[in-house]
């Protein structure tokens, strides 16, 4: 009988633990009809696995956050949480951040900050009007169907366990829309759009950074890889961008099936010992000084089966090759012509200036336009009507 009672007691304890461990759903409503009226209070109450549903309205309840080193104004702080999901209203009217841009001198206000938290998901939120939109420094982060606007730094990720951004829109206020640092890896940005002035995406010291099916318009730079970053950009469109792809300081990047247009600088700029491989791309535009493709400082490439369509300046410019001779391989591409002498005139390299210890190999040529998966010019224009 005693053993039977112990068994029943253990079963009851197990059932109680199971019930207490079940995920809860919390509601945040400005009108008081939910569990909370302030997002931070819901986050504080939530445990691992919970979901927080946030109703319509603007949530700008700044609270001073003491990191132990400095104090910053932050609307939502998520610390020591795992598997937490925050979902805004489906009509897109859940706004987190002040009504006007807020960035006092000497301070770095933030809309959402995460620390020591992993597998946190944000959906259907508008984040706006601060120095930082979302800053995340540990674990993993997922952002989908969100809008980040008028933040100097939209999403800043230092996560070692992955960041995923999907179906989101960014309106830039200088700085960059998405930036990474601190030995990040496994970053995926999919089906998102970037507008405004500044850098669309800036990867710094980041491995395995994938950008796919994104659009970039009216930016300084669409995508930048720096400080030994690596990754792939595929099926993206850069329109009316000053500099489409910028690869620097020992980074290695693959470009596949993109339409990349530049206005003031180059559609592809590669420097400081970096390497780019690419196929199926359309490179166009570029300045009189730099050209459509610009390579510098011992950088090289393997670009095959692309369209290289010169703008006002050269089709390709090599500059600042100081040491051993470097060959930049641009063979089997389509240049808008098959006349070899014309293409030679469109390339500025060591054949034009002996102090440049680098030359471009462009033969054999593609004998006509090559097959690309990139959007045609008509399709690109249609996207912005």
Domain boundaries of the chain, sorted by first residue: 24-167
**Distance of alpha carbon 70 from the chain centroid:** 28
Dmax over Cα atoms in the chain, in whole Å? 100
Which residue in this structure is represented by tokens 């199926």?
Answer: 280
Q: Which CATH class is domain 24-167?
A: mainly beta
What's the mean per-residue pLDDT of the chain?
Answer: 91
Note the pLDDT of residue 369. Answer: 86
pLDDT of amino acid 253: 98
13's enclosing H/E stretch is helix 2-21
The answer to whether 261 touches 238, Cβ cutoff 8 Å, is yes
Question: What is the tens place of the pLDDT at every residue in 171-206?
Answer: 987 899 999 998 799 999 999 999 998 999 999 999
- Encode pLDDT of 82-99 as tens digits: 999 999 998 779 999 999
Please give the backbone phi and psi of residue 141, each rounded to the nearest 5 degrees, phi first: -140, 140
Backbone phi, then psi, for 33, in 5-degree steps?
-85, -5
Q: What percent of the chain has pLDDT over 90?
A: 82
Give yes or no for residue 225 having a pLDDT over 70. yes
Q: Cβ atoms within 10 A of the Cβ of 154, count?
A: 35
What is the predicted pLDDT for the residue at 20? 44
Specify the pLDDT at position 19.
Answer: 41
User: What whole-number distance in Å separates Cα of residue 275 and Cα of residue 205?
Assistant: 15
Residue 241 has pLDDT above 50, yes or no: yes
Q: Which of 359, 308, 373, 307 is nearest to 329 (CA)?
A: 359
Please state whether 144 falls in left (phi above 0), alpha (psi between -120 and 50) or beta.
beta
Quick one: CA dihedral 82, 18, 35, 168, positive or negative? Answer: positive
Higher pLDDT among residues 71 and 229, named by residue:
229
């Amino acid at each position: 009988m005693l053993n039977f009672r112990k068994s029943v007691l253990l079963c009851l304890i197990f059932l109680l633990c199971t019930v207490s461990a079940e995920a809860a759903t919390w509601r945040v409503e400005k009108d008081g009809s939910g569990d909370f009226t302030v997002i931070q209070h819901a986050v504080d109450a939530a445990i691992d696995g919970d979901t927080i549903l946030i109703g319509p309205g603007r949530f700008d309840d700044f609270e001073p956050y003491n990191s132990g080193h400095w104090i910053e104004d932050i609307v939502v702080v998520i610390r020591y949480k795992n598997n937490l999901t925050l979902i805004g209203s489906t009509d897109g009217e859940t706004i987190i951040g002040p009504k006007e841009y807020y960035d006092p001198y000497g301070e770095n206000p933030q809309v959402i900050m995460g620390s020591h938290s992993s597998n946190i998901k944000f959906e259907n939120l508008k984040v706006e009007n601060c120095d930082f939109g979302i800053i995340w420094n540990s674990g993993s982060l997922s952002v989908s169907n969100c809008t980040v606007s008028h933040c100097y730094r939209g999403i800043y990720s230092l996560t070692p366990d992955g960041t995923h951004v999907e179906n989101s829109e960014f309106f830039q206020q200088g700085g960059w829309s998405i930036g990474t640092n601190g030995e990040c890896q496994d970053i995926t940005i999919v089906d998102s759009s970037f507008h405004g002035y500044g850098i669309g995406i800036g990867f710094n010291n980041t491995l395995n950074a994938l950008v796919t099916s994104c659009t970039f318009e009216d930016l300084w730079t669409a995508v930048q890889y720096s400080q030994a970053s690596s990754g792939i950009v595929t099926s993206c469109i850069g329109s009316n961008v000053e500099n489409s792809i910028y690869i620097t300081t020992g980074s290695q990047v693959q470009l596949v099936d993109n339409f990349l247009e530049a206005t003031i600088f180059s559609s592809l700029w590669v420097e400081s010992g970096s390497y780019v491989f690419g196929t199926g791309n359309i490179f166009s535009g570029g300045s009189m000084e730099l050209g459509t493709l610009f390579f510098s400082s011992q950088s090289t490439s393997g670009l095959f089966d692309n369209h290289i369509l010169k703008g006002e300046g050269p089709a390709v410019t090599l500059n600042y090759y100081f040491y051993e001779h470097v060959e930049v391989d641009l063979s089997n591409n389509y240049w808008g012509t098959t006349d070899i002498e014309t293409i030679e005139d469109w390339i500025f390299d060591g054949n034009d200036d002996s102090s440049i210890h680098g030359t471009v190999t462009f033969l054999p040529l593609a004998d006509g336009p090559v097959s690309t998966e990139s959007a045609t010019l008509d399709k690109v224009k249609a996207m912005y009507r």
